[in-house]
């Protein structure tokens, strides 16, 4: 696998922008859905969504990830027209946003329209299973392409969460999805991989994926991960989605320590601040000071 470097820096190419990955980045979640598991309905009104996007950029988000179809366990898909009618008004107001926009969709038709309005990243939670047309589209636009592991569909994914070795299985599936994207003309430096926390995984499976995230990072692509407010935190902490912030931050920091490049979270400021402290501590280690000095 070709390393995704530009000179000395690790970079991720997203529609003409080289995103440097020398420190973990935060992708702020914006769900313009009525039914997302933790924030459904909060940002359905265009002005609320646009305001929240700008707020997350001010809080330090390096990417805004917009989703118009919930993928919570048991959810049903929505049509292209429904998804687009939720996205379009918001995207039209965000064309001048200073950070890249990512579209959380499994449909090439939706992604194509969003790329035409300036989106730079396609976040495909089905890793090309739902619509293989996503790969040539990403190739044509040079868009960032996030390939996330999910077993089955949101409707069925929690029916079977047993794996012989969850990390090996997830890495193997993501490697084949990446190979399909490369065959369709994507370049290696466009593709990021995501283990899909909560998408067909048990509590233990999610924890093991974070603990062994280095194995996914070793595949050589940037690593996305989305621990935010997920139900494995709820089960560990006996907490509702709105009470899972501290668990999210803990999971995010451990993931960053194990090679995550992009942390997809709803609560941007706390994650950004926690990463800043983690980075400062890391920089104070004698070995990094010698290297720096
Ligand atoms: N998680 C969700 C949605 N999209 N994309 C990536 N790459 N990684 C994730 O872990 C991920 C994702 C689910 O969270 P949320 O968007 O808050 O909920 P919903 O799907 O109900 O809208």
pLDDT in tens, 156-187: 888 889 899 999 999 999 999 999 999 999 99
Residue 4 in tokens? 């995704």
| pLDDT beyond 70 at 60 | yes
First-to-last alpha carbon distance for the chain, in angstroms, is 32
Task: With cut-offs at 50, 70 and 90, classify the pLDDT of residue 5.
Answer: low
Residue 242, CA distances (Å) to 37, 52, 237, 248, 255 in order: 10, 17, 12, 11, 21
Once rounded to an integer, what is the mean pLDDT over residues 197-218?
97
Per residue in 63-82, is it b (16+ CB within 10 Å) or e — as a string? bbbbbbbbbebebebbeeee
Q: Is 72 in the pocket of ligand 1 (CB under 6 A)?
A: yes
pLDDT class of 289 with cuts at 50, 70, 90? low
The tokens 């392409």 sit on which residue?
145
* Amino acid 164: pLDDT: 92
**Which residue is listed with tokens 């529609």?**
15
- What's the CA-to-centroid distance between 226 and ligand 1, angstroms? 7
Instruction: Give how far Cα 167 sits from Cα of 118, 204, 205, 291, Å.
Output: 35, 11, 8, 33
The atom of ligand 1 lying closest to the CA of 148 is 7
Q: Is 33 in the pocket of ligand 1 (CB under 6 A)?
A: yes
Per-residue model confidence (pLDDT) at position 227: 98
142 Cβ inside 6 Å of ligand 1: no
> Residue 6's pLDDT is what?
57
Active-site choice (230, 244, 269, 276)? 230
Please state the atom number of ligand 1 nearest to the C-alpha of residue 69: 22
Which of 77, 125, 216 to mutate to test ligand 1, by most ligand atoms within 8 A of the CB atom?
A: 125
**CA-wise closest residue to 228 among 264, 258, 193, 259:** 264
- Say how many Å lie between the CA of residue 223 and the centre of ligand 1: 15
DSSP 17-50: EEEE-SS-EEEEEEE--S--TTTTTTT-SHHHHH
Could you tell me if the CB of 174 is within 6 A of ligand 1? no
CA 115 to chain centre: 17
Backbone phi, psi, residue 79, to 5°: -75, 165
pTM of this structure: 0.95
Best mutation site among 73, 145, 226 for ligand 1 pocket (most ligand atoms within 8 Å of CB): 226
pLDDT band at residue 26 under the 50/70/90 scheme: very high
The CA 288 to ligand 1 mean position distance, Å, reads: 35
* Residue 38 Cβ contacting ligand 1 at under 6 Å: yes
CA dist 256 to 59, 240, 277, Å?
A: 19, 24, 12
* Residue 264 a catalytic site member: yes
The confidence score (pLDDT) of residue 160 equals 86
pLDDT of residue 272: 98
Decide: 103 in ligand 1 pocket, CB within 6 A: no
Handedness of CA 61, 251, 156, 133 (dihedral sign): positive
- Closest residue by Cα to atom 3, ligand 1, is 71
**pLDDT higher at 152 or 265:** 265
Does residue 129 have a pLDDT over 90? yes
The closest alpha carbon to 196, from 224, 165, 155, belongs to 224
* CB of residue 31 inside a 6 A radius of ligand 1: yes
What share of the chain has pLDDT > 70, as a percent? Answer: 95
What is the 3 state secondary structure string of 200-262? CCCHHHHHHHHHCHHHHHCCCCCEEECCCCCHHHHHHHCCCHHHCHHHHHHHHHHHHHCCCCE
- Over its C-alpha atoms, the chain yields an Rg (Å, rounded) of 18
Residue 73: predicted pLDDT: 85
Substitution site in 41, 148, 229, 261 for ligand 1 pocket (most atoms within 8 Å of beta carbon): 148
How far apart CA 141 and CA 136 sit, in angstroms, is: 9
- Which residue among the candidates 86, 264, 269, 285 is catalytic per the annotation? 264
Q: Are 130 and 148 in contact (CB under 8 A)?
A: no
Mean pLDDT computed over 24-48: 93
- Annotated active-site residue 201? The verdict is no
The pLDDT value recorded for residue 279 is 96
Helical axes 166-183 vs 134-141, angle rounded to 10°: 60
């Amino acid at each position: 696998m070709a390393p995704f470097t530009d000179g000395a820096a690790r970079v991720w190419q997203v529609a003409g922008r080289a995103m440097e990955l020398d420190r973990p980045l935060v992708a702020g979640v914006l769900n313009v859905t009525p039914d997302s598991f933790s924030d459904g309905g909060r940002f359905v009104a265009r002005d609320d969504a646009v305001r929240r996007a700008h707020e997350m950029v001010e809080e330090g988000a390096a990417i805004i990830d917009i989703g118009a179809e919930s993928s919570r366990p048991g959810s049903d898909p929505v049509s292209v027209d429904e998804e687009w009618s939720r996205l379009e008004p918001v995207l039209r107001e965000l064309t001048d946003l200073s950070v890249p926009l990512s579209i959380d969709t499994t449909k090439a038709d939706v992604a194509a329209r969003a790329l035409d309005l300036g989106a730079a990243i396609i976040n495909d939670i089905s890793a090309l299973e739902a619509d293989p047309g996503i790969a040539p589209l990403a190739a044509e636009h040079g868009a960032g392409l996030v390939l996330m592991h999910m077993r089955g569909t949101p409707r069925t994914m929690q029916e079977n969460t047993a794996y012989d070795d969850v990390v090996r299985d997830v890495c193997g599936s993501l490697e084949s999805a990446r190979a399909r994207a490369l065959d369709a003309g994507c370049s290696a430096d466009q593709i990021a991989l995501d283990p899909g926390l909560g998408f067909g995984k048990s509590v233990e499976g999610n924890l093991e994926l974070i603990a062994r995230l280095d194995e996914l990072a070793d595949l050589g692509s940037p690593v996305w991960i989305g621990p935010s407010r997920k139900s494995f935190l709820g089960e560990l902490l006996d907490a509702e989605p709105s009470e899972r912030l501290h668990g999210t931050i803990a999971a995010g920091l451990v993931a960053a320590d194990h090679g995550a490049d992009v942390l997809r979270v709803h609560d941007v400021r706390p994650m950004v601040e926690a990463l800043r402290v983690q980075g400062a501590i890391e920089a104070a280690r004698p070995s990094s000071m010698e290297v720096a000095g």
